[in-house]
Amino acid sequence: MEETPSKVELAVQMTCQSCVDAVKSSLDGVQGIKSVSINLAQEQVIVESTLPTAEIQDLIEATGRRVVIKGQGTATTSHLGAAVVQLELPGPVMGVIRMVQATQDSCVIDGTIDGLTPHGKHGLNIHEYGDLSQACNSCGDHYNPMSARHGGPLDAERHAGDLGNVTAEANGRARFRIVDNRIKVWDVIGRSMVVHSREDDLGKGNMQTSAVDGNSGPGIACGIIARASGLFENEKKICQCDGVSLWNERDVPSAGPSRSQYAQPQQSQL
Ligand code: ZN
């Protein structure tokens, strides 16, 4: 696969130079990491790499510090568009996927999905509609503007939305980074992303059904692809306006009634 490094901006809890040193050494010499820049005053770490963002996050968190992903961008200063997907319905499988259009021909799709079958492979696709009224059942078919057969991400003939499989680790978490040459962020904003119950046969399986959906079974989590800010565009220390601090954000549901119990009293607007 084409090597397209991207940059991720992380907020890392750092109070002194020794924190900076610890973060720096946690990333030192790791294969796939091209550069690391750390700003202590802003508690900001920018990593340029070809690794899934979740792997970078895990490496830094292994030093005992909290890490929040703030944005993703390209190795150069600008990108062509960015989006984020929160996979949440129908539950309990959940995930966050970030997309950034690095160039006209490379879309970086970086994500984490939790609650999957351990060591299992699961088909991941962009579907036609951003309609979650019946969870994944109302998302329509694989996004397929060229009326092609279902295939794998590297096949000449495929649905544009065919992203192949993600693989869960022993803990049921899949951490992945896909660089796709067919998807354009601007074509898929407002559509949906769906992870499926089974392995996608990439169109190589049993005849008719394989050509339609790769026999990957029903969707087990889905979310709408929403426009997102890219790197450096999100300067607020508070992520939402409801008082959930940045450092609590990681453990808090991004919406819904249970979110409010994490909110701190708002003495001042930051
Ligand atoms: Zn397909």
State the pTM of this model.
0.81
Q: Which domains does the chain have, with CATH numbers?
A: 6-74 (3.30.70.100), 82-227 (2.60.40.200), 237-270 (no CATH)
What's the pLDDT at 206?
A: 74
Looking at residues 198-221, what average pLDDT do you find? 89
CA of 165 to the centre of ligand 1 (A): 11
Measured distance CA(165)–CA(149) in Å, rounded = 17
Query: Residues with Cβ within 5 Å of ion ligand 1?
Result: 142, 150, 159, 162
58: left (phi over 0), alpha (psi -120 to 50) or beta: alpha
Tell how far the Cα of 129 is from the centroid of ligand 1, in angstroms.
14
- Structure tokens, 116: 């999957």
d(CA 132, CA 122): 20
Q: How far is the CA of 200 from the centre of ligand 1 (A)?
A: 9
**DSSP 8-state symbol, 107:** E
Dist. CA 20 → ligand 1 center (Å): 45
In this predicted structure, the answer to whether residue 158 has a pLDDT above a threshold of 50 is yes
How high does pLDDT run on average in the chain? 86
Query: What are the tens digits of pLDDT across the range 237-252?
Result: 434 344 445 555 555 5
CA 191 / ligand 1 centre spacing (Å): 14
Confidence of residue 210 (pLDDT cuts 50, 70, 90): confident
Give 244 Cα–ligand 1 centroid separation in angstroms.
39
Residue with tokens 């991400």: 153
The values of phi and psi at residue 71, to 5°, are -175, 165
Beta carbons of 159 and 144 less than 8 angstroms apart:
yes
CA of 116 to the centre of ligand 1 (A): 20
Residues paired with 195 in a beta bridge: 124, 221
